[in-house]
Amino acid sequence: MKRGYSREAYDQLVEDIRTMLPDVAISSDFISGFCGETEEEHLDTLSLLQQVQYEQAYMFAYSRRDKTHAAKHLVDDVLPDVKQRRLTEVIDKFREGMKYKNSLEVGKTHLVLCEGYSKKYPDMLCGRTDR
C-alpha cells in the first residue's frame, strides 16, 4: 500500500463512508509485488485488508505489461516467488474478512439480481445484492 492516500487518510475515508452509508459494500483492486514493493508495504496492505474487510476485491500478482508507465519507467524487482507468496497472503486475508462479513448476513433478507448459474456449483444460481 504505497501509492495514493496515506494510511491514516485512507482509514478516515473508510470510516467516514461507513458512517454515512452503514450498509455500503467496498471493493478494491490489489496488485502484489508491484515494482519496488517492500515487505513493510505488503504488511500494511494485509493490515488494511483486515481493517476494511472489503466485500469485493480483485487480486493479482504484478506482471509487466508493455506500453504501460511501469514497463517503461520502473524495474520489476520483486522476485516471482515473493510476488506469489504475497498474493497468497492477500487472498487469504481477504477471505478471512469475507468469512466474517458473510457470517453477519446469515438470517438477513436481501434483494438479489440473479446473473445466472454458478460456475462452481452448476445447480445453483448466483447473483448480486443491491449493496
pLDDT tens by residue, 64-98: 999 999 999 999 999 999 999 999 999 999 999 99
Q: What does the pLDDT look like over 20-73, one tens digit per residue?
A: 998 899 999 999 999 999 999 999 999 999 999 999 999 999 999 999 999 999
pLDDT of residue 4: 64
What architecture is domain 7-129? 2-Layer Sandwich (3.30)
> What's the pTM value of the predicted model, to 2 decimals?
0.83
pLDDT of residue 6: 79
Extract the runs of DSSP E, i.e. beta strands, from 1-81: 27-32, 56-61
Judge whether 109 and 129 are in contact, CB under 8 Å: no
- For 75, 81, 88, the CA distances from 103, given in Å and listed in that order, are 42, 33, 22
- For 5, 105, 127, the CA distances from 114, given in Å and listed in that order, are 35, 18, 4
Task: Give the whole-angstrom CA distance, residue 59 versus residue 121.
Answer: 22
Q: CB-side exposure of 129: number of CA atoms within 13 Å?
A: 12
Q: How confident is the model at residue 3 (pLDDT cuts 50, 70, 90)?
A: low
Sorted by where each begins, the domain ranges of the chain are 7-129
